[in-house]
Copies of this chain bind each other. A is one copy, B any other.
């Protein structure tokens, strides 16, 4: 299983494709400041970690926190400073292969499952590297070279890329901590319990031809385009996400013991991995608890369920007499929805009660759509083009972002993707019919 978002990649780099769009991005007067903010935010997320916590790779799909710090820095060195900053030299040449995720065209790569073997460079050394690169970036953006649209475009991409890794960093730390019987907490807190939610309603859509994909204006990854028209069937979308309480009812009704509810591959996963509940859930004496970045917490029936695989989402939907939405159905709704939600920037590390309504934030939403190219899709040229297109098989699209996503990183056309068995990302369920 390879992670979807992965070392995640770049995308629709406007300058190279369309001068207009490149320009559009470049004129952003606040890029240098936003860049500094985003880089600092990453480091703030690491504040609660001990040096030891940065090193561990708890499964091949996850990466150590230190690796995220280094990889995002390598990204700026490789795609921004190297090509665009005159006289720039890598901070440490030998580190490049260690922090190249999967860009074959960008040179050799340390094997992904070996990332946890790298005790050196130390956290301290990586921070020094970040600092040096940040300085160079700021100087570049203030220099004449930094005014070129393609520089702004690729710097913006680096910023968005860093935001993706902010969510991944937290996602991977949660997984790493979950492997420790001591149950370490990332941030101590007692989560409030919500009142049980009323049943979800249905929002009808009459079907017909609609536009999906990124309409232009502002940043987007290449896999969000081109915008195009599709023919939707009449359908309805649930007014909120499935809650932990509803999911617990599915479990109590034998959901994990009835093969008729599951896709064949899903049932095989249930049996092979012994799934009996979402990832991080544990039951003792009939009471469910879940492991979170706040340590062990009681399962709150009112909160949106998270950390389910596509297989579980799909089986739940069948049990509930519904189905999952297609990504087009979801996007048609999101185009008109308010952009409210709960985000890491607001201090949310868990999808809280009441977060089930908004379409953005809270938990990612599994769709029923396999991750494939839009008609007319063209990946970026060069090494950056490797990064979304080559994953377009064996993955399922998720939409909407989670509470671990930075708010400014999300939009209705955003396509995340993970293999159907993946559970460690914060993914939940919204029904359709």
Enumerate chain A interface residues (CB-CB to B < 8 A). Answer: 2, 50-56, 58, 66, 94-95, 97-98, 102, 104-105, 110, 114, 116-123, 176-177, 179-182, 184, 209, 228-231, 233, 259-260, 262-267, 310-311, 314, 368-370, 372-373, 375-376, 386, 390-394, 396, 420
Contact = CB atoms under 8 A, between A and B. Distances in A.
A416 B2 CA distance: 27
A66 B56 CA distance: 13
A212 to B, nearest CB: 11
A310 B50 CA distance: 41
Contacts of A231: 209, 229-231
How would you classify the secondary structure of chain A's contact residues: helix, strand, loop or mixed? Answer: mixed
A372 B396 CA distance: 11
B94 A182 contact: yes
Contacts of A260: 104-105, 386
Nearest to A58: B117
Given A209-B231, A372-B368, A420-B393, A119 B180 contact: yes
Copies of this protein in the assembly total 4
B375 A56 contact: no
- Closest A-B pairs by Cβ, 9 of them: A370-B370, A51-B51, A117-B179, A52-B119, A231-B231, A264-B390, A233-B375, A53-B119, A52-B55
Contacts of A105: 260
18 contacts: A50-B120, A52-B52, A52-B54, A52-B123, A55-B119, A56-B117, A58-B117, A104-B259, A110-B181, A209-B231, A228-B233, A231-B231, A263-B391, A263-B392, A265-B393, A310-B393, A369-B372, A394-B394
A102 B264 contact: yes
Nearest to A50: B122
Nearest to A234: B375
A214 B54 CA distance: 47
B184 A119 contact: yes
B393 A266 contact: yes
A114 to B, nearest CB: 7
Contacts of A94: 181-182
Contacts of A51: 50-52, 122
Contacts of A120: 50, 52-53, 180, 182, 184
A420 B372 CA distance: 14
Contacts of A179: 114, 117
Contacts of A209: 231
B390 A176 contact: no
Contact of A56 (B116, B121, B263): B116
Contacts of A314: 393
